[in-house]
Amino acid sequence: MKLKITSNKWFNSEPLSEKDLSGYVVLVNFWSFTCVNCSRSFPRMRELWNKYKDQKFLMIGIHTPQFEFEKRPQCVKRKLIDNDMYWPIALDNEYKNWKRFKNKYWPTNYLINKNGEVVYCHIGEGGYATLDKIIQELLKMKKTKVKSPEMVTERTNNICFSATPDIHFGYKKGIPANASGYVPDKDALYKRPRIIPQNEMALEGEFFSAPGCIQTQKVGSSIYLNFNATEIDLVMEPFGKEAGAEVMFEGDPLPKEIRGEDVDDLGNIHIAGYRAYKIIKADFPVSGVLKIRSKEGKFKAYDLTFSGCVGRCDVQSDPS
């Protein structure tokens, strides 16, 4: 078997052919720059790269986008610079590598021996000690039992609970709690329902609904979320150069002790790029209704992700 990575855009490397990869232990890492679980793995991936890069070892990051704007090379490049990611990165905008590996989740790591055989697969965060151990074994050419792709988790000292599942915006991926549902491909006025069920989202005001996102149309347009989590990240981008929003919790300004790093002291979010904005970050479980209100300009919302752990949790993002 020969390892093949297909891409018309590489970062930190010239295109790597099958011949270039032959004889190397290769760690293939599928990720996307809005995936929160991927971002939390970057420091540990950087440690592995720095430890083994001078041996017969290659680490290749395959950036497979979750959203249309993630296909933009300049956005990926910014993420690499911001996170000191100097190993080879291949863009996978057409999902060719994703399909070749039959991959399903972000992040996922595949370890491949010098003969081009996948000997280990880890889905989600964690598993770094095991990755390190198997890399050492493969570099020494010890016999390693081939393991089929599996879900692997590490024991941690974290306290975890069941958090709100991911919520996707847009009429192809999600359903709001509004009685009208989405009005596809049109500006529409949405009325907030009196009751928003647990783990669901509702809209209030004027929005445009596209297949994979929604866009605010006027100041005051609001997203309501009845959630249960320790962390909330919202993937957004401005429609134009920048936009602004404010965040309220249970009708009041967002308390400091649960405020995410992208929310300022007044409860405002400055939306100036294409990324996941950290809305909630708490050291304890938080439940209630969150309101994200358009305050300036227009913005697009794509996806809400949640964590139910105090500290780091070994979970993964599902594209479905």
pLDDT tens profile 194-205: 999 999 999 999
Across residues 62-88, what is the average pLDDT?
93
Give the least confident one: 68-77, 81-90, 261-270, 295-304.
68-77
Query: Cα-flanking dihedrals φ and ψ of residue 127, to 5°?
Result: 75, 10
User: Is residue 311 scored above 60 in pLDDT?
Assistant: no
Across residues 64-91, what is the average pLDDT?
93
User: Is residue 313 scored above 50 in pLDDT?
Assistant: no
Domains assigned to the chain: 10-139 (3.40.30.10), 167-310 (2.60.120.260)
Two structure tokens written together for 19: 């011949």
On average, the pLDDT of the chain sits at 89
> What confidence tens digit (pLDDT) does each residue in 250-272 have?
999 999 999 999 999 999 999 99
The total of other beta-carbon atoms located within 10 Å of residue 115's CB is: 12
Two structure tokens written together for 283: 């050291």
Residues 6+ apart with CB under 8 A from 251: 289, 291
Give the least confident one: 127-136, 259-268, 304-313.
304-313
Across residues 22-38, what is the average pLDDT?
93
What is the percent of the chain with per-residue pLDDT over 90, rounded to a whole number? 76
Tokens 């290749």 belong to which residue? 60
The predicted pLDDT at position 35 comes to 87
Q: How far apart are CA 99 and CA 148, in angstroms?
A: 17
User: Is residue 146 scored above 80 in pLDDT?
Assistant: no
The predicted pLDDT at position 40 comes to 86
